[in-house]
Structure 1
Amino acid sequence: MSNVTAVPAAPADQALAHFEDEFRFETDCSDVQATLAAGDPDFVLIDARSHALFDQGHVPGAVSLPHGKIIAGKLAAYAPDTLFVTYCAGPHCNGAARAAVRLARLGRPVKIMAGGVTGWLDEGFALEASDRLA
């Protein structure tokens, strides 16, 4: 018996429910890129990293809103049913999840872009730098 099989897999119905639920909580870089490239996205993409990291390189079309700065006032311009998709540096970073928690606490629909910047680059997509003055 290996470490893989030491704990039995969930029954198929439970596995199906679990994996289907994941799509309610996250999306991937390819789906985000395809939607952004098509124009008129039906979500707002939030870069939850610091403004400095955003300026060095971010997903084109993203809004810089560090997770610690997410408050109701910063969201006032968006309709209450606006879907927010958050990302951070990558799987080694929890900034996207921190942003998602803050958005959910404010009653906003939210998903995480799995992989973050690392995943974006792994897919072969380019980042853009910002000339925004802090």
Structure 2
Amino acid sequence: MTNAVTAVPPAPSAEALAHFEKSFAFETDCWDVHQAMQSDDPGFVLLDVRGPDAFAEGHVPGARHLMHGKIVGSKLRDDPEGTLYVVYCAGPHCNGAARAAVRLAGLGRPVKVMPGGITGWIDEGFALETGAAEAAA
């Protein structure tokens, strides 16, 4: 029986393996970010790229606030050139994290997206922090 799932055949296993292995270079999940953020040096800067009101209402503990439209080189000058950024927005229905990733990559900065965003974070049962962001220079 043919349906929307079976109408297009799956990729050969070797192609599927290469595709899914490569996806880890572009994204990470909420669980892995949570685990890494428990250490003194997670190895990345976590950026919440939503608006200031959303950030104040609740954000991932330890995240910095920098709206995706405000990502410019001068805002990153205190971070070494090879700093990895992990970006997130509201959740899977929001493309703000992808927009932030485009801007960071365009600046030559390493970046990964946390696709679940705040929605995924909450779904995992992780706590949020509240409060306004510090003013960026």
TM-score over 0.5 for the pair? yes
Structure 1 position 132, deviation (Å): 4.7
Instruction: Give the aligned residue type for 1:88.
Output: C
Matched ranges for 1:28-47 at <5 A? 28-47=29-48
Q: Deviation above 6 Å: which 4+ runs of structure 1?
A: none
Structure 1 position 38, deviation (Å): 2.5
Instruction: Give the aligned residue type for 2:75.
Output: K
Higher helix proportion: 1
**Alignment partner, residue 48 of structure 1:** 49
| Aligned Cα root-mean-square deviation (Å) | 1.2
CA distance in 1, matches of 2:134, 2:18: 46
The 3-state SS of whatever aligns with 2:11 is coil
Structure 1 position 2, deviation (Å): 2.0
Ranges in structure 1 where 5+ consecutive residues have no aligned partner: none
1:10–1:37 distance in 2 versus 1, CA, 3 Å: same
CA distance in 1, matches of 2:133, 2:74: 21
Count residues in correspondence: 134
1:86–1:132 distance in 2 versus 1, CA, 3 Å: closer
CA distance in 1, matches of 2:85, 2:120: 18
Structure 1 position 41, deviation (Å): 1.2
Instruction: Give the aligned residue type for 1:12.
Output: S
Structure 1 position 133, deviation (Å): 6.9
Which digits, 9 at most, give the CA deviation of each residue in 1:91-127, with x for residues without a partner?
A: 0000000000000000000000120000000000011
Matched ranges for 1:75-114 at <5 A? 75-114=76-115
**Alignment partner, residue 69 of structure 1:** 70
1:97–1:132 distance in 2 versus 1, CA, 3 Å: closer
CA distance in 2, matches of 1:27, 1:115: 9
Ranges in structure 2 where 5+ consecutive residues have no aligned partner: none
The 3-state SS of whatever aligns with 2:25 is helix
Which digits, 9 at most, give the CA deviation of each residue in 1:6-31, with x for residues without a partner?
A: 10000111101110111000000000
**Alignment partner, residue 17 of structure 2:** 16
Structure 1 position 129, deviation (Å): 0.3
Q: Does 1:126 align with 2:127?
A: yes
Q: Percent identity?
A: 62
The 3-state SS of whatever aligns with 2:34 is helix
